[in-house]
Amino acid sequence: MTTENAASEAFERIDAEAVNSATKRQPLYAARKKIFPKRASGQFRRFKWLIMAITLGIYYLTPWIRWDRGPYAPDQAVLIDLANRRFYFLFIEIWPQEFFYVAGLLVMAGIGLFLITSTVGRAWCGYTCPQTVWVDLFLVVERAIEGDRNARMKLDGAPWSLGKLSKRVSKHAIWLLIAVATGGAWVFYFADAPSLFVEIFTGKAAAVAYITIGVLTATTYVLGGLMREQVCTYMCPWPRIQAAMLDENSLTVTYNDWRGEPRSRHAKKAAAAGVSVGDCVDCNACVAVCPMGIDIRDGQQLECITCALCIDACDAVMDKLGRERGLISYATLSDYNANMALATAGSGSIDPARVREASGKLSGAVAHFHWRKIFRPRTFVYFGAWSLVGLAMLYALLTRDRLEVNVLHDRNPQYVLLSDGSVRNGYTVKLLNMIPEPRVIFLSLEGLPGATMQAVGIDQPEGRSLAIPVEPDRLREVRIYVRQPAELSHRGNERFNFVVEDKASFERDVYHAKFDTPEGSR
């Protein structure tokens, strides 16, 4: 027995059929066929475990990270404070009028998805989409309780017994626990997590918290545990959108039929008979591990989330056969077409011998992906747009004001003529202290010679400047009366400035206002 012959008997041939194979395409709304994905192992599976641990860790743990913002602001690192209309992210505090930062982040996320899709295809779907991550997590539980593919299929087909019932109850109970934890983690982003945790378990939390947890528990359990791949196939619009973003240089998971076909389950016999067969031994390992239940050998399909588990499965088979890895691989359409042209040599039929040298190694003429293909005009445009939005947001963030003044001029009456002949205008001055510290804001007049002002409810002498205390993170409205003496008010309407300053931090803001007089109204 040759090494290859010995190796070729070392792999397992799996009885697996794609749920919607090219030869037996079903109508779009056919009844669901159950999928029992086999456990895969290999570099992509390890990478997916890593991504899964990171994404789940971020989601569940982030609300528990503390951040000291002093005594006047919450000490939760990430908090959406709906009651006070604030969003806290580490050292950044966003006010409602600064919502454009959130909009900018969404724009960046959108452009980032375009960039990722045009380079590495549906990496979002295969690795980081919440649906993929939670389905993976639910599958871990399912495998731990019911076993791998064969055991699960056997259990599914077995009549109900105490053993089957206990396994099913255990699985669904743990799924529900995960779903509750997922819904629970979400509400912690909207309130102080440790306090809310206690309130939830003592029945003191607001009804909306319990309703949110209930809704998210149900959606996580149903979408991640019960519907699984159907969410991607039938509900998600992304597979359709991303099809428009791929081009001939985008990476996708590809079955390289130029070296795999004609597939043969009897490679040894074919070789002995001098028949040229491809590398695919039709073992179905790639079909068995696929969480979408498809056969990548049928070609590119919308159902494929490019999770690359079929690459791991096939690489393991190629290792056992002593052949080069990569019968299924990440490849671009342009490389695939070049290799297909090599394998068919214009004849229309694949001869795998054409892509191999006499020694049996893959020919040097075979095209392989090169990283420089990522750098092309389209990706430069996406990256440029993404960077521009990011830099604009960073600049706006670093230079934004934390002290603001807004003024409303009384319209009725526009002015009041006082008994001594002086003219008075009324204003509502809004002082915004956007830091979590109390501070004294100095409001002063700039221009309008001879004018003085007085604040209602603030016990300070009439003058050109007032010191107004403002609470942390608050807006304070003050009624201000500005008075101009009679000898100066004949000059007509005048422009002047309300200036606010924090003398400790040197922050300053100016509002351009107008002073109305009887002269100006004539």
Assess 294 for contact with ligand SF4 (CB under 6 A).
yes
Q: By CB under 6 A, what part of segment 242-261 binds ligand SF4?
A: 253, 255, 260
**Does the protein bind ligand SF4 through residue 429 (CB under 6 A)?**
no
Cβ–Cβ under 8 Å, residues 129 and 291: no
Are 137 and 178 spatial neighbours (Cβ–Cβ below 8 Å)?
yes
In angstroms, the CA 320 to CA 482 distance is 89
Q: Please, what's the b/e burial string for 260-273 (b: 16 or more CB within 10 A of its CB; e: otherwise)?
A: bbbbbeebbeebee
User: How distant is the alpha carbon of residue 50 from its chain centre?
Assistant: 17
Q: Is 466 in the site for ligand SF4 (CB under 6 A)?
A: no
The site string for ligand SF4 over 298-337 (x = CB under 6 A, - otherwise) reads ------xxxxxxx--xx--x---------xx---------
Which CB atom, from 295 or from 501, has the smaller least distance to ligand SF4?
Answer: 295
By CB under 6 A, is residue 19 in contact with ligand SF4? Answer: no
Q: How far is the CB of 273 from ligand SF4 (least distance, A)?
A: 20
Least distance (Å) between residue 255 CB and ligand SF4: 6
Q: Minimum Å distance from CB 288 to ligand SF4?
A: 8
Q: Which positions from 492 through 511 interact with ligand SF4, judged by CB under 6 A?
A: none
User: Under 8 Å CB-to-CB from 341, ≥6 apart: which residues?
Assistant: none
Nearest to 116 by CA among 235, 240, 245: 245
Q: Is residue 292 at the binding interface for ligand SF4, with CB under 6 A as the rule?
A: yes
Give the DSSP letter string of 35-66.
Answer: --PPP--SHHHHHHHHHHHHHHHHHHHGGG-B
Residues 6+ apart with CB under 8 A from 488: 449, 450, 451
- CB of residue 291 to ligand SF4, shortest distance in Å: 6
What ranges in 244-298 are assigned the alpha helix state H? 257-260, 267-272, 285-289
Size of the site for ligand SF4 (CB under 6 A): 28
Binding string to ligand SF4 for residues 199 to 238, with x set by CB under 6 A, is what?
----------------------------------------
Give φ, ψ of 409 to 5 degrees. Answer: -85, 135
Q: Does 280 bind ligand SF4 (CB under 6 A)?
A: yes
Instruction: For tokens 């403002």, name the residue.
Output: 470
Q: Residue 351 CB, nearest distance to ligand SF4 (Å)?
A: 18
Pick 314 or 445: Cβ nearer ligand SF4: 314
Tell whether residue 379 is a contact of ligand SF4 (CB under 6 A): no
Chain residues binding ligand SF4 by CB under 6 A are 253, 255, 260, 280-286, 289-290, 292, 294, 296-297, 304-310, 313-314, 317, 327-328
